[in-house]
Structure 1
Amino acid sequence: MAKLLYSVTMSLDGFIAGPGGDMSWLTPYLGPNPYVDELIGDIGSLLVGNRTFRGDDPYKDTPAEGEAFGGGWSGPQIVLTHHVPDAAWPGVTFVSDFGEAVRRAEEAAGDKYVNVLGADVARQCVAAGELDEVLTCIAPVLLGDGVRLFEEPGGRTVRLERLHLSGVPLASLLRFRVLPAG
């Protein structure tokens, strides 16, 4: 059975994108990461928010532009959007209902991970009790402004259990299991 994993790189001050969704800040930190490279093989599908899918790309102007994990992964992508396009995209399924998007992503992943991409989709997964794990790569930079890792004013406390802590030259890695509410 598939598990939902939110993977993200954030600045030390808690931002995953700069102002307006700018991802260019991430480019210097895209170097080798053996832990993430190994994990990519365990990903069966992506559940992606529309803003992330259509947003800025840290691989812009490189051969890896537009490719998941810089071309390190390929497979089915489920994009959660309020506006499903008329034209089909190869390998991409657009879905407007959250529950349906999760179901399709889990089905496509089989017994591998559904990798969640996008702050809003991750918040929805937490709120629905669907998120199983969080992998955060912390880049050694302070952005000062932008899109926060998790921001939900008035939100509830979510308990986590640390599964992994390590470092690579360009980031520190923290992996957590999301514990049941209660």
Structure 2
Amino acid sequence: MRKLTFGMSLSLDGYIAAPGGDLGWGVPSGELFQWWSDRVGATGVALYGRKLWEAMSSHWPTADQQPGATPAEVEFARRWRDMPKVVFSSTTSTVDWNARLVTDDAVTEITRLKAEDGGPMDIAGATLAAAAMRDGLIDEYALVTHPVLIGGGTPFFTALDNWVNLTLLETRTFPGGVVLTRYETKR
């Protein structure tokens, strides 16, 4: 059975995007960017909601060909293109860059994917992750907390009907006061 991890950058007050989708508060250091790149390199399948898919696919497929691309950006772009991806959307009609589109029930498909053999899965996008969270499908949470309060926007966590008990797996500090905390869901 595959492990499903929900990991994203978030503000100290718990938001993954400021109002209007602004992500300018979460620029990673080189060390943090490398950590994200290594995660992408180790991911068996990435699950994307529509909004995050649109943001990622508008930049990373050709980021390594842009003037001034750093070696880290070149590596991330290659890893991102090579990584298998599943995009969940009822409004998107086509996807590319080693991705396939799912327009049916996300929870059913995520449950099916988790039951398969293969490498770990990452889920990204607040709405998609919220559906998986409510159905108890998330095995690990990786919170990359930036020392900024943005006061509103898109929350990392959704409202839940039941408590979810977690076990701390790791803490790590990155430059700029960014703190990684990884938790495993107690089953």
TM tier relative to shorter chain: 0.7 to 0.9
Letter matched to residue 53 of structure 2: F
Tell me the residue number matched to 2:172. Answer: 166
Q: How does 1:131-150 map to 2 (within 5 A)?
A: 131-150=138-157
Tell me the residue number matched to 2:163. Answer: 157
The question of whether the paired residues in 1 share the 8 Å contact of 2:40 and 2:76 is answered with: no
Alignment: residue pair count: 173
1:175 to 173, 177, 182: 182
Of Structure 1 and Structure 2, the greater helix share is in 2
TM-score with structure 2 setting the length: 0.77
Q: How does 1:17-166 map to 2 (within 5 A)?
A: 17-27=17-27, 29-33=28-32, 35-55=35-55, 63=63, 70-71=76-77, 72-73=79-80, 74-85=82-93, 87-96=94-103, 97-102=105-110, 105-106=113-114, 110-152=117-159, 155-166=161-172
Unaligned ranges ≥5, structure 1: none
State percent identity of aligned pairs: 26
1:4-60 deviations in Å (ceiling 9; x for gaps):
011111011111111122222222x25322544443332111111112212489x69
1:117-142 deviations in Å (ceiling 9; x for gaps):
01111111111221110101111211
User: How far, CA to CA, are the matches of 1:104 and 1:89 in structure 2?
Assistant: 22
When structure 1 is superposed on structure 2, of 32-41 and 16-25 the one drifting more is 32-41
User: How far, CA to CA, are the matches of 1:162 and 1:16 in structure 2?
Assistant: 21
